[in-house]
Amino acid sequence: MKCGIEMSEMIMREAIKKALEESLENDPNVLIMGEDIGEYGGAYAVTDGLLKKFGPNRIKDTPISEATFIGAGIGAAAAGLRPVVELMSISFSLVGFDQIVNMAGNLRYMSGGQISVPMVIRAPTGAGVQLGATHSQSFETWLAEVPGLYCVCPSNPKDALGLLRTSIKNNNPVIFAEPALLYGSKGEVPEDYYEIPLGSANIVEEGNDITIMSYGAGMSIIKEVNQKLKESNISVEILDLRSLNPIDYKTIEESIKKTNKLVAIDTSRKNGGIMAELVSNIQEKFLDWLDGPIIRIGAEDVPWPYNKDLENAVYPSSNKVIDKIYQQLLN
């Protein structure tokens, strides 16, 4: 129990499955489609058992053709259904970019609001699980730039459940990026029903000396950094973006006004990532509140290695973050 709220422990994949199962039970227009989501239960076992419970009309295995089944999902959404389309990896969204960007993102605007596309595209994202260069991309950072698309990325089971509930009910297309590294991560989830609004960041822990923000798997790095900085009596405010489009600039502003220092961590590549755009906007909007440079840390600009030691070398680490903080903000 937490502050009078009944809580239960859940892993990330269970939280995502719970949101899917609830939606299938409560709304006959919801269906799920994607590669190996039926008999196989999904690449990360999220949809395991749903075919048996809801049948092949609601749980649809598709060919290995992302452009085709993403397009089918868009058509189904435009016709009044609420499809949840699962990709085996967000790396494969490239095959369907025309459908996602030009069709899903634009249909409502091009039709003057006459056609809505209430669909969710779920996809594992990110490196850290030794899947090599072609299966370790973080293209939510690209898709977050597309007008007409919402884009969220949870870092824990509670947020995964609350955000997916909201995403499925939304009348716009939502990119739901799921960190592959976190499917087995545990966390407390409220027993009572709740939803989390899209476009809302979360202050995970309040602090006074420095704000450190990230999303998805990057939040695990922040926890390690926080533990080490606490040993030096440095108070960290931890900010989880949760939503990459839209961005909750109000929460960011309030945090920066309190700490006057900002560190932005991205587990995708530093060059051209969502944090680059975010930091640029923060500089324009809130520069007067900053006492030093914004520190931005991301993965190295190389293809993701398969070798674990090399993957770790490319991936941002708590030691890299702490070194930069002391060099640039606390020297």
What pTM was computed for the model? 0.95
* 156 burial type by CB count under 10 A (0-12 exposed, 13-18 middle, 19+ buried): buried
CB 283 within 8 A of CB 289: no
**Closest by CA position to 210, among listed 252, 260, 253, 248:** 260
Annotated catalytic, 66?
yes
Annotated catalytic, 135?
yes
Convert the pLDDT of each residue in 151-185 to its tens digit.
999 999 999 999 999 999 999 999 999 999 999 99
Q: Where in the chain is the domain with CATH 3.40.50.970?
A: 7-190
Q: Which fold has domain 7-190?
A: Rossmann fold (3.40.50)
d(CA 199, CA 197): 6
Percent share of the chain, pLDDT over 70: 98
Question: Catalytic: which of 135, 140, 178, 311?
Answer: 135
Question: Catalytic: which of 14, 35, 66, 178?
Answer: 66
CB 234 within 8 A of CB 259: no
Per-position DSSP letters for 76-139, written without gaps between them: HHHTT-EEEEE-S-GGGGGGGHIIIIIIITTHHHHTTTS-----EEEEEE-SSSS--GGG---T
CB 66 within 8 A of CB 87: yes
Please give the CATH architecture assigned to the domain spanning 202-328: 3-Layer(aba) Sandwich (3.40)
Convert the pLDDT of each residue in 77-134 to its tens digit.
999 999 999 999 999 999 999 999 999 999 999 999 999 999 999 999 999 999 999 9
Q: Where in the chain is the domain with CATH 3.40.50.920?
A: 202-328
Convert the pLDDT of each residue in 260-313 to its tens digit.
999 999 999 988 888 999 999 999 999 999 998 999 999 999 999 999 999 999
